[in-house]
Chains A and B, each alone.
Chain A
Amino acid sequence: MLSFFVRRLIVAIAVGITVSLISFALLRMSGDLALVLAGEGATEAEVAETARLYGLDRSFAVQYLDWLAGAVRGDFGRSLFTNEPVLDMMLETVGVTALLAVLSLLFGLVIAIPLGVLAAVRAGGWVDQLALGVAVFGKAVPNFWFALFLVFFFGVQLRWLPISGSQGWQSYILPVIVMGTGVMPQLMRLTRGGMIDVLEADFVRTAWAKGLSPGRVFFKHALRNAILPVVAVSAVSLGFLLGGSVIVESIFAINGIGALAYESIRRVDFPVVQSILFFLSLIYIILTLIADLINARLDPRIRLT
């Protein structure tokens, strides 16, 4: 188990460095940052001065290594706009986004797993048909539209829930429903597909032959074998929720890291954009690592590979 962890960790670090390099390069390829920063109508001398001031006149490798050296020490530089340390800005906002993402994933899983199991047990039955309908709806409806619909219905018409802000747990309900509905379909279909395969397996027949109850057969013997891809995709979904909450955060006026990223892109605040990109990919990598470890815990055979 330890050597499995070490090997996965090395891979994760390699992926992290690659991602930071690519994101750093992409941001610099998006245009001449000094030109944009100096503003419209700036003279050539002013642009050169701006480039020197922000270190943009140095070679790409030097800029990257300088930034990386800071990043590993937790120093992501300062915002060009507010002059606050970037790290502080990210830490202030990431909590809300992370909470939103985790709750959304849990909401998605709580619906997806039982529904997927039921759909598989009675494949082709009405539960299965209904689950398919719900999945298609969840995937096909754009989240901004669904969000506005919920705001209109529960916030404006029924006045049950607040329509914006991030004060109190009630303000999380609608965003969590919107984002959870977005990730639920693939998790549900994966659970269903995995279960249908596993229910045909010999060891499930053994479990029936042992006289175990349907609950034990489905949830203990079958589900644990069917759930491995669901765990892996959950990690990916969580990363997606963290990075993809920009729209939902802005609709519900939630002060999360997605909203910060959106604002910073508008202001050409490139140290912030750069760091958020890196920060989110780092979280993504850590989540994938955790998913690998959970799977290794669930299936002893994975520990060998």
Chain B
Amino acid sequence: MNPLVDIRNLHVSIPLTAGDLKVVRGISYTVEPGETFAIVGESGCGKSVSSLALMGLQPKQARVEADRMTFEGADILSMPRAALSRIRGVRLSMIFQDPMTALNPVYTIGDQLTEVYTAHGLGGRKAARERAIDLLERVGLHNAGARMTLYPHQLSGGLRQRVVIAMAMMCHPMLIIADEPTTALDVTVQALTLGILKKLQSEFGTAMILISHDLGVVANVADRVAVMYAGEIVETGTVAEVFAAPRHPYTHGLMSCIPGGAHLGGRLPTIPGTVPSLIGEIDGCVFRNRCHLARGACNHGRIAERLDGGHAYRCIHDPETLARQGQPHAEATR
């Protein structure tokens, strides 16, 4: 079976006076129908913008290049605007981070839900209304028929995000891109919202690209995961592979930053240093200035991808070295 999404060597750069800001530096990944693929990384690592590019929603100034970027076999890059509009919201839809601002404040939620259905000619107003009510009930807005006339400001953040989820599902998409779907929510409703999203996804057989910086969320929800750092995917594999045996020092460092476990009661470890400047090319490993294993060979060229079954990583060091010299940062405890 062909992958739903096939991205090869995607570059996104934003021209600035100081030079090109290269926010995405040659990433490749595929998403299979029905699976959940997570992209994790810290703010500014390019995880959001790479998925916005897939929808053609990158910032206006951004330049997008790729050897291949297809959705359901169709080339997104060469697709005319009108054709892209026809698949957006229908075949692939998006859930944004902040439900407080993602809905239009001056229209009722009913109007915003039904609009996407009728605008794409999937049915009349009545069919759209029935579908919207059904979806609202499924995401747990009871008495949905009466609540269709509510405005976004009359709902709490958690409920608004459920409306956004229902909206993304209106046209029964093949793929949902969820950009930090629970980050803006209260911790108490995060798990609930994630559960609703997961349930709908499996009922509809929809694939999902989940963008998150929350490793806990990823571990719970995703099938496969890609770890991004400074515009590159440094490691990718199944959640089990990557979480149980990280092969890249950055992933390794991230795991050791999760509160609890071995550090309980101690000082929480951090990764020292900061992300390199994204202007221009980076010679050598993108992580080398923060990596305790860095040596001469890490300083030049692009680090090749190494494969271990489906588990891929960009690091020249052997997994054994990493495991042995594990977490020097953890030494900072006490």
User: Which residues of A line the B interface, CB within 8 A?
Assistant: 201-203, 205-213, 216, 221, 224-225, 298-301, 304
Contacts and interface: CB of A to CB of B under 8 A. Distances in A.
Contacts of A224: 106-107
Contact of B96 (A205, A213, A221): A205
A203 B103 contact: yes
A210 B151 contact: no
B40 interface: no
A31 B151 CA distance: 57
Nearest 5 A/B pairs, CB to CB:
A211-B88, A211-B89, A210-B89, A202-B101, A203-B104
A209 B93 contact: yes
Nearest to B82: A213
A95 B312 CA distance: 80
Given A203-B105, A205-B102, A304-B153, 9 more contacts: A203-B104, A209-B55, A209-B89, A210-B93, A210-B119, A210-B167, A211-B84, A225-B104, A299-B105
B121 to A, nearest CB: 11
B90 interface: yes
A301 B115 CA distance: 21
Contacts of B57: 205, 208-209
Contact of A209 (B88, B107, B119): B88
A298 B106 contact: yes
**A211, A221, A300, A304 pick with most chain B CB within 10 angstroms:** A211
Q: Which of A207, A209, A224 has the most CB of B within 10 A?
A: A209
B32 interface: no
Given A209-B88, A211-B85, A221 B93 contact: no
Contacts of B90: 211
B125 interface: no
A210 B88 CA distance: 6
A4 to B, nearest CB: 15
15 contacts: A206-B96, A209-B55, A209-B88, A209-B89, A210-B93, A210-B167, A211-B89, A211-B90, A211-B116, A212-B85, A212-B115, A213-B85, A221-B104, A224-B106, A225-B105
B6 interface: no
B85 A202 contact: no
B98 interface: yes
Contacts of B79: none
Nearest to A222: B104
Interface in B144-197: 151, 153, 164, 167
B306 interface: no
A225 B106 contact: yes
Interface string B91-119: 00110101001111111000000011001
Nearest to A227: B106
Nearest to A304: B153
B15 to A, nearest CB: 16
A210 B116 contact: yes
A135 to B, nearest CB: 24
Nearest to B85: A211
A8 B93 CA distance: 43
A209 B106 CA distance: 18
B120 interface: yes
B86 interface: yes
A207 B87 contact: no
A122 B94 CA distance: 26
A209 B104 contact: no
A224 B93 CA distance: 24
